[in-house]
Structure 1
């Protein structure tokens, strides 16, 4: 098998080494020298670069060299090979370099690095080569102490005083067959011997990294010391995945991240965004998993005794390998567990009941003006009528009678005008002033009526935390022992402390977001929680509405124990899913496609005026019509009766007159 291992003994690596001085120098100067060396290697067509940095944790040289190699596009050439000699790569190669953040996982060039132990050595509790070395050193000292004391009689002076030369001999004779850094043995000079380093390869069009071989200090030749892994063994290792056995995954049931179906069993009970993500990761990382619900269905909060509950507690105790769901990445939680890269970005906002239309009053059209203002307008019209009548009273040909002055003021107020206009200068001045009064009054009424009707359909009681803090119409709540609760409880701003006091006073701590959503839908309850969860509630429960711009932006991640060896592989798998658009597709599936309420249609819908809203106008119109008909009938029948009576009187009068005019009867008279 050809490769960089054989190239060490060939002309592919320059026999002239280049050294970098790193002590008492800035990172900029070190990087400048690294760029010069790599530029020379390119000019000499060197395909293999060997980086030896035995104290890289202090010098950070390997990181600098890899960054410089990226700038010269050395990592883009699949013919190039970089060999990193640094035993600090103990647990997960290149983890200290944040290889997934710097894009090193996608390098086409082969990046080879050594580490003390195999990936499946079982030492999951260690996080660095320094820690592993310290553990082995303590074990060696304990073994040497026992050897030293066993060789000295209990009652002798040497038993109570240390003989340095004898103790050093005991140290050199100590050994560990399976230490944290592999086999530990020392030669006569105290140097370590018979140790093994495991060689792992990154890049080279490979998804993550694979074991290439083992280097042993025992041997007389290069081929004796480096034993390569056969291709079949590598394939078998790849198929094994990064986890041993069944992976325990603890979740919190929280729609739409995790949805529980009690009618099913096993992993089939769970569905949702997180479950689909877990399936995609399991397929990519070739793992078998078992899902169970978090005790108390909680994410995790620290108790007074320092113990954690919920997902965090399960991961810390080792009951679960992964914790998934809408669990926020916070600094407090990262003190006891590790998180993956952010899976999805969210924030915090409020969920309230959707404002319902107010009950329509019969005389809704009178709302823009108050009752005293209406009375003032009517009074002004009456006074105007009286003034017109008084000013025209002495005129023999006056037009402004009591009836006409009243009609003139009403017509002007309704902007309809009349068939006549005042002729006197005083009346015209009065008319001009009253017309201006009517213009302003009608314009103000029209504007207020439009604003009133618009506000009636679009009014939202609160739009921000500040408005929520100022109003007393809402109770305030959030989920108990959640990151949101901790945020307000430990907030350093007055507004956050005020909101927390409102939560306590309102007894607003709920056991789950489902309970918070139900209280919000019932009205007068502002549920402050995760933006994505509130967004899903607004989409599926048409009685609720999100308000406020999301604040406290945060990431949801995957929880794991501190120093987990699979963290880098898991992060790379997440990045690959993001780049492939899988996470965006899952978000569309579990949010946009689950929408049951047409929010956009509600926003764009034109306000419709119903009969109830205009009933008062119809009543006024009907009242006017009824009065006019009644007056018309009254006048008609009154005049008809009067005319009939007049005609009857006229007939009687004519009859009497005719009788008076008729000749008298002849009466004989004596002469």
Structure 2
């Protein structure tokens, strides 16, 4: 609001004209004045703070740590990644330059036993860093010592471990196209159809044929009928076939059933034999705490490590006890090496784990349920004048769809990893993969040999019995002859 104070000369011209600038709506506090001699003079330096002039091309020190794909450190010392894309856009919009640096201890920021802070949080508190970027989890403790910008995304902690190959399932994979219930049902149906076919063949008036009058061809037994049904199922011909229409009707529909079943089996078998299946022993954090063979790994100084150490819940306390039995890790590379070579599970942000899995889909597998979900964002010194502009422009980036664009850029991969631990890569069949049918055939051969031995034993008993009867008949005949002669 402009207020004037002026006088007039003898010639009625304005003299000593002054225009006062006051702050609305009170109109009582002058913030500047304009006069003919001194021109404009602004007394309040904060008057134009609302004008978006950026940071005036200043250079700010930005702290960070490698955490793929948020921050990726290249061999030449440069950085790229999801957070770098955001930082570059903010620098362009707010007119500032930046220098990236890392804390000497290589930690994100946790509380030491003496109550002091370390890592990025400490450096930001001490104003050595004007700002720190990366997947920095928003926590109440950190909020007390630094200021957070608007979260750039929501995230949670997840579990990643190496793939444990299902050795038992690999041997009998040839039988996996059907479940056990289906195999049992097929066996019962095969037996039932054989019995029904035998019954029809016995009661039908046209159960046999005659080649000549009075000379009848041999009819099939129930065992023969079951063998006919089994041979049809295995797509093998048999010597006997029903001669009556009702039997042929049953057998004809059985052939249709056989074609459908075998076609379904063959189609499923092709998929099961060419896809690698892996066991997932740890799916949730509760699975991890309920066993002792696989030990958890968590980066020292991370928010998750602090959370587990506090032990606010029973499962966090159990997890921390297991954590004390595992080696200490301070970076992702050491953790992944331990995971791939031993019985360890690495716990960190789910978004980082998804990126790691896509980089090595053949060896790594994710858990199913993330936990400790929350926001991640950037931090600045407590009370920093940078905060409001940074938060405002991060919201603008989200509204413009740029955050989503960069998310797709850094988390999309050409490698396809499915959620159930199956890698969609075709493999040549190995003997271990097809050994199931060989084992089944070997087992059936052993049973056949046992049956053969039993048949020989029964046959010998039968021969012995017949010989004894013959000997007895001979003795009785000789006795009769002797008595007659006497």
Per the TM superposition, whether the score is higher than 0.5 is: yes
Q: 1:242 to 1:334 in 2, by over 3 A?
A: farther
Secondary structure at the aligned position of 2:391 is classed as: helix
User: C-alpha offsets along residues 28-47 of structure 1, whole Å, 9 cap, x if unaligned?
Assistant: xxxxxxxxxxxxxxxxxxxx
1:617 match: secondary structure: helix
Q: State whether structure 2 residue 371 is matched by structure 1 residue 551.
A: yes
1:598 equivalent to 2:416? Answer yes
SS at match of 2:100: strand
Cα distance in 2 for residues equivalent to 1:331 and 1:225? 51
Q: Does 1:281 align with 2:90?
A: yes
- How far the C-alpha of 1:515 sits from its partner, in A, is 2.2
- Residue among 245, 256, 259 paired with 2:69: 256
Cα distance in 2 for partners of 1:316, 1:566 equals 14
Q: Does residue 271 of structure 2 align to residue 457 of structure 1?
A: no
* CA apart distance, 1:251: 0.7
Residue of structure 2 equivalent to 1:482: 302
CA offset digits 1:231-272 (Å, max 9, x no partner): xx979x9767268x53111111211222223434xxxx2222
219, 241, 255: which one aligns with 2:55: 241
Which of 374, 396, 400 is equivalent to 1:576?
396
Q: Does the 8 Å CA contact 2:417/2:424 hold for their aligned counterparts?
A: no
**2:60 and 2:97 in contact (8 A); partners too:** yes
State the Cα distance separating 1:293 from its structure 2 match.
Answer: 0.8
Shift in alpha-carbon separation, 1:214–1:240, aligned structure 2, 3 A: farther
Instruction: Check conservation: 1:256, 1:272, Cα contact below 8 A.
Output: yes
Q: Distance in 1 between matches of 2:390 and 2:171?
A: 65
Counterpart Cα distance in 2 of 1:412 and 1:322: 78
2:321 aligns to what SS in structure 1?
helix
1:566 aligns with: 386
Of structures 1 and 2, the one with the larger relative CO (CA 8 A, separation 6+) is 2
Alignment of 1:23-34 (within 5 A): none
The DSSP-based 3-state class of the residue aligned with 1:326 is strand
- Deviation at residue 464 of structure 1 after TM alignment: 1.4
- C-alpha deviations, 1:63-98, integer Å up to 9, x for none? xxxxxxxxxxxxxxxxxxxx8x9xxxxxxxxxxxxx
Residues 619 and 288 (structure 1), Cα distance of their counterparts in 2 relative to 1, 3 Å cut = closer
Partners of 2:42 and 2:427 in 1: CA distance: 79
Unmatched segments (≥5 aa) in structure 1: 8-47, 53-82, 86-196, 200-212, 382-396, 422-441, 626-671
**Cα shift at 1:581:** 2.2
Unaligned stretches of 5+ residues in structure 2: 5-21, 192-215, 243-260, 446-486
Q: Secondary structure at the match of 1:549?
A: coil
Change over 3 Å in CA distance of 1:620–1:292 after alignment to 2? closer
1:525 aligns with 2:339: no
Q: Secondary structure at the match of 2:370?
A: strand
Kept after mapping to 2: 8 A contact 1:408/1:418: no
* TM-score (ref. length: structure 1): 0.46
Q: Distance in 2 between matches of 1:598 and 1:366?
A: 26
Q: 1:352 to 1:405 in 2, by over 3 A?
A: same
Deviation at 1:537, TM superposition (A): 0.6
Contact 2:276 2:425 in 1 (8 A): no
Q: How far off its partner does 1:624 sit? A: 10
SS in 2 for 1:577: helix
**327, 330, 333: which one aligns with 1:511:** 330
Write the deviation string for residues 521-546 of structure 1: whole angstroms up to 9, x where unpaired. 33532211101111111121222122
Matched, 1:319 2:128: yes
Give the number of the structure whose alpha-carbon radius of gyration is greater.
Answer: 1
State the secondary structure of the residue aligned to 1:304: coil
Cα deviations across residues 428-479 of structure 1 (Å, max 9, x unaligned)?
A: xxxxxxxxxxxxxx9xxx9xx99xx699836432321122222344221111
Task: For residue 306 of structure 1, report the CA deviation from its aligned partner.
Answer: 2.1
- Contact preservation (8 Å) 1:463, 1:548: yes
Aligned partner of 2:153 among 341, 344, 348? 344
Counterpart selection for 2:107 from 288, 298, 303: 298
User: Is the CA contact (8 Å cut-off) linking 1:251 and 1:324 kept in structure 2?
Assistant: yes
Q: Is the 8 A contact 2:166 2:279 kept in 1?
A: no
Q: Which residue of 2 aligns with 1:657?
A: none
* Alignment size in residue pairs: 379
How do 1:388-407 residues align onto structure 2 when only pairs under 5 Å count?
A: none
Q: How does 1:291-440 map to 2 (within 5 A)?
A: 291-356=100-165, 358=167, 419=240
Aligned match of 1:18:
none
d(CA) in 2 for partners of 1:365 and 1:290?
Answer: 59
Post-superposition offset of 1:586:
1.9
